[in-house]
Homo-oligomer: A and B are copies of this chain.
């Protein structure tokens, strides 16, 4: 499987490493030969037809230099449009204003005949229905396990692990930064400002954590999970969003406050006072989702919600899923052609 990595930051680099480390295992366990033939950063794409070994390009990036400083690169869109790969992996940073440049990357990859894996929430939060329709009309696959929960497989849990069961609703903590801040404020009496400073100091919060704290990031993940679980066509503007910017309610010793994304009664993200006995009372940077399943009652999935290597781990799952989907397509096509 020929792979192009678009976005060569913490996720893209970790993915390149993981693909290299797991090459043998993927070939033997899944019959999947993985080959990274291009990597792109802001400076452009470096393409090598017989595959790029991670040390070649990682050393450059780890030294803080752009790919163009050493390699002959061409503009990102130009490379994508050539349709050189079986799958383009979009892992540039999210942008919730217009989802660019990722949205164009994804659409052009599909138009060129490449399947797409994205860890970038932006295009999915703003244009998921459009993207999936484009892929479907071309018989291509778009996978996005890494957009929700970093490495924790909320998407495949809802789908592959609960296939045959009926999910009625879900609610959960989908942002680790805001959960860390809330935990600090509620449990230790920190001010919001001090908690944010500490989160930045520990590398948990980005320089500007506004989208984490005001609920936008959680809402983006809610959109993706809603559409995935219920085959809906939500986009970010359909979600009622509030965050911790308006202050945090005071609670007694038996209660706590969490920033909860809920599918019902209407899709929304808001601060909720919950009982300390609620299994969503998870502190720190964890993400946690309670799925209410008609036959099973409540099922909880909890794990780390971010991290380069973790999110790259999600892409590894998508690669196996892609292979299975393509194989079924192939069998179907071959079979019908021969009849």
Q: Which chain A residues have a beta carbon within 8 Å of chain B's beta carbons?
A: 18, 22, 25-26, 30, 150-153, 156-157, 160-166, 279, 282, 286, 293-304, 309-310, 312-313, 316-321, 327-328, 331-332, 334-335, 338
Q: Looking across the interface, which residue of chain B has its beta carbon closest to that of A296?
A: B151
Contact at B30–A295, with CB atoms within 8 Å?
no
B156 touches A160 (CB 8 A): yes
**Residues of chain B contacted by A300 (CB below 8 angstroms):** 300-303
Q: Is the CB of B332 within 8 A of A310?
A: no
User: Given contacts A282-B279, A319-B164, A320-B164, are A310 and B328 in contact (CB under 8 A)?
Assistant: no
Contact A310 B282 (CB under 8 A): no
In the assembled complex, the CB of A188 is this many whole angstroms from the nearest CB of chain B, namely: 14
Instruction: Output the least CB separation between A295 and chain B (Å).
Output: 3
Q: CB within 8 A of A279: which of B162, B296, B302?
A: B302
Contact between B320 and A295, CB atoms less than 8 A apart: no
Complex Cα–Cα for A332 and B330 (A): 11
Of A30, A309, A331, the most chain B CB neighbours within 10 A belong to: A331
Chain B residues within 8 Å of A331, by CB: 328, 331-332, 335
| A339 closest partner in B (C-beta) | B338
A339 to chain B, nearest CB (A): 8
A1 to B134 Cα, complex, angstroms: 34
Q: Please tell me if the beta carbons of A153 and B299 are within 8 angstroms of each other in the complex.
A: yes
> What residues of B have a CB within 8 angstroms of the CB of A165 in the complex?
151, 153, 313, 316-317
How far apart sit A202 and B328, CA to CA, in the bound complex (Å)? 48
Asked whether A297 lies within 8 Å of B302 as measured between CB atoms, the reply is no
Question: Considering the chains assembled together, what is the distance between the CA atoms of A19 and B300 in angstroms?
Answer: 25
